[in-house]
Structure 1
Amino acid sequence: MSDKPANTIQVLLICGGGGSEHEVSLRTADFIQRELARAPDIHLTRVTMNGDGQLLDGDGQVRELRSDKLLYSASGSAQVVDYVIPSIHGYPGETGDLQSQLEILGLPYYGCSPEASKICFNKITTKLWLSALGIDNTPYQFLCADTPEEIAQAQDALAEWGTVFVKASNQGSSVGCYKAATAEALENALKEAFRLSPYVLVEKCLKVRELEVAAYTYEGELVITPPGEVCAPEDTFYSYEEKYAEGSRALTHVVAEGLSDAQLGWIREASKRAFIGLQLKDLSRIDFFLSEDGEIYLNEVNTFPGMTSISMFPKMLQHQGHDFCTYLGGLIRESVQSASQ
């Protein structure tokens, strides 16, 4: 027998995805599951999506979410689903594909809409939208094909800028990002990036401080935290491994030091403009670069940031004085109540 009250909200937590960020997704789901265990009116069912898109329960049995908003087991039994947490980094969670399915089913869910997710996941469309919103971002070249003409643009960028980052446009969390300072390194990076994506970004490498802001909705109000800072080792950049490995050498500071009031004000304004202009929902982590000459560039918008033991988003939320269970539980209750009206 369950000790949950009769009006329990049935929440489905979907994690995994079967892609390059599968394991990190599981760790984020672990964090969310622990936090929501403190909410007496929320019952959470966790399933893991494999590379074939199947939802597997803890026993490895296939579960199926159908149009009647019930989660079916192989035996034919079913349970109600009131709300979904798509805890998947990369495809199909951050790309908007899973959210599109939930929209079709009419199920409320945690996080951004399909369109906002898709825009922000693609590094090139993000830059185009940021420019349209009047938010500065780093100089770049956009390559749309692995052809000699396009490669020549990348070579020209390397000659002009000295060192560049090569980024597959539709990969998350530093997957498909390479640093190149020589023609040979550039050639190898482009091959790898085009293997992962049909579009590639070649970005000017700047010596910067990496700042991160948590932007989220708490009790109906948009909260934008002061920026924290990621200090990667000098001999590398903040790669996927450095971002999520337990043995990461990167240092994180919940509050960045030494920023002027003007810099803090602009970061807050740009974060607010991005959150509202891109029509984000519930949460995001917005990352900035602060160059040596004081220029501030918005680097990327992460619509479903990591929530592992070393992740910045939950740390900054907590530093703001907000309890994660209260935060997410409030969003769940509000969404379920709105959906029932």
Structure 2
Amino acid sequence: MSMNSRVPNPESRVPINVLLICGGGGSEHDVSLRTADFIQRHLEAVDDISLARAEMDGNGRLTAPDGRERRLGQDRMLRDDNGAWEVHYVVPSIHGYPGETGDLQSQLELFGIPYYGCGPEASKLCFNKVTTKLWLSALGIDNSPYQFLCSNEPEEIAKATMALQQWGAVFVKASNQGSSVGCYKVTAKEELQRALARAFELSPYVLVEKCLKVRELEVAAYTYEGELIITPPGEVCAPSDTFYSYEEKYAEGSRAVTHVEAQGLSNAQLGWIREASRRAFVGLQLKDLSRIDFFLTDDGGLYLNEVNTFPGMTSISMFPKMLENAGHDFSRYLTSLIRAAVR
């Protein structure tokens, strides 16, 4: 890190100092590091980007790749044993807490440092599966049937039991974890109590959602040179003997098959997905990027399943694949956002 960093001049190619914060110490720590590797590869090749990386542990402590402790202060300076470096922009490459929950974004806004991704409020709303559903309904966007549980007490368990009896199979989901963390498929009453207990260990609120036989569709929604881009939906085909769990989603040996563009969708279905994505992005006041996931049922029903404000960017992740399939270069996309925010 240079001790002589300057505020970037829009008329020059003075480097923009970008801090890549990754990890987070939570259940998605390792995947966050893999996403950071992807982003780092794209930014290191850009002439006017000077990149520093810091890994965050579960206590918020930052360390350099060589293990030296780093501290980011309110004066926008990143300090370690080698000196101080002014931070112009931050890429919070953290899945789960505190990157997708709005906590890190709130700190960066207090420090006055621009950053990649959604703001604190949008992050918090979309990370919580209950508030997401409430907002989607308020925006007039269909989402799958569910029951909301606020405790693991007999009265609440009875609601889950009735849902299972009515629907035959349910997903039990911790409300404020990553998209596939704390998510359990339940088909028998004797499995329900164990799934609820595990979900409540991860979250104070739990969602019991109707298990639908669906095609899982995803779009990448992002801002590219000032325009909101919504890609055609891609499709995730999980193995028939399981659901798309967290482990299946990110394992290098995943048996899931992905298609960058889903086939066999009607113009009406494509139009609904596009409009629902646009309405969600604008209505939830998302910024820079999101991956928006949909369910398409066997009888043609369409539901918006969830909004992911910082999707994975590993070698098998859909967001960068769909962005590139739309004809956009990831490096150009991210650096244009950085330059617009800083210069």
Is TM (by shorter chain) over 0.5? Answer: yes
Look up the SS of the partner of 2:50 in the other structure: strand
User: C-alpha displacement at 1:6, in angstroms?
Assistant: 5.8
User: C-alpha displacement at 1:334, in angstroms?
Assistant: 0.1
Look up the SS of the partner of 1:290 in the other structure: strand
Q: Indicate yes or no: 2:291 matched with 1:300.
A: no
2:38 is aligned to 31
C-alpha separation between the residues in 1 aligned to 2:75 and 2:203?
A: 36
Which consecutive unaligned segments of at least 5 residues does structure 2 have?
6-11
Alignment of 1:163-178 (within 5 A): 163-178=169-184
C-alpha separation between the residues in 2 aligned to 1:60 and 1:190?
A: 39
1:288 is aligned to 294
1:110 is aligned to 116
TM-score by length of 1: 0.97
User: C-alpha displacement at 1:277, in angstroms?
Assistant: 0.1
C-alpha separation between the residues in 1 aligned to 2:182 and 2:106?
A: 25
- CA deviation vs aligned residue, 1:167-214 (integer Å, no higher than 9, x gap): 000000300000000111111100100111110000000000000000
2:271 is aligned to 265
User: C-alpha displacement at 1:74, in angstroms?
Assistant: 3.6
Look up the SS of the partner of 1:222 in the other structure: strand
Residue 325 of structure 1 aligns to which amino acid in structure 2?
Answer: S
1:73 to 55, 68, 80: 80
C-alpha separation between the residues in 2 aligned to 1:8 and 1:229?
A: 39
2:334 to 324, 328, 331: 328
1:151 is aligned to 157
Greater CA deviation, 36-45 or 93-102?
Answer: 36-45
2:256 is aligned to 250
2:68 to 61, 64, 76: 61
TM-score by length of 2: 0.96
Structure 1: which 4+ aligned runs deviate by more than 3 Å? Answer: none
C-alpha separation between the residues in 2 aligned to 1:208 and 1:146?
A: 29
User: C-alpha displacement at 1:136, in angstroms?
Assistant: 0.3
1:40 is aligned to 47
1:220 is aligned to 226
Look up the SS of the partner of 2:249 in the other structure: helix
2:134 is aligned to 128
Look up the SS of the partner of 1:190 in the other structure: helix
Q: Indicate yes or no: 2:148 matched with 1:142.
A: yes
1:12 is aligned to 19
C-alpha separation between the residues in 2 aligned to 1:68 and 1:137?
A: 43
C-alpha separation between the residues in 1 aligned to 2:301 and 2:199?
A: 28
C-alpha separation between the residues in 1 aligned to 2:15 and 2:299?
A: 54
C-alpha separation between the residues in 2 aligned to 1:304 and 1:252?
A: 19
Residue 156 of structure 2 aligns to which amino acid in structure 1?
Answer: E
User: C-alpha displacement at 1:52, in angstroms?
Assistant: 1.4
User: C-alpha displacement at 1:153, in angstroms?
Assistant: 0.2
Residue 72 of structure 1 aligns to which amino acid in structure 2?
Answer: R
Residue 55 of structure 1 aligns to which amino acid in structure 2?
Answer: L
2:58 is aligned to 51
* Identity over aligned pairs, percent: 74
- CA deviation vs aligned residue, 1:285-320 (integer Å, no higher than 9, x gap): 000000000000000000000000000000000000
2:8 is aligned to none
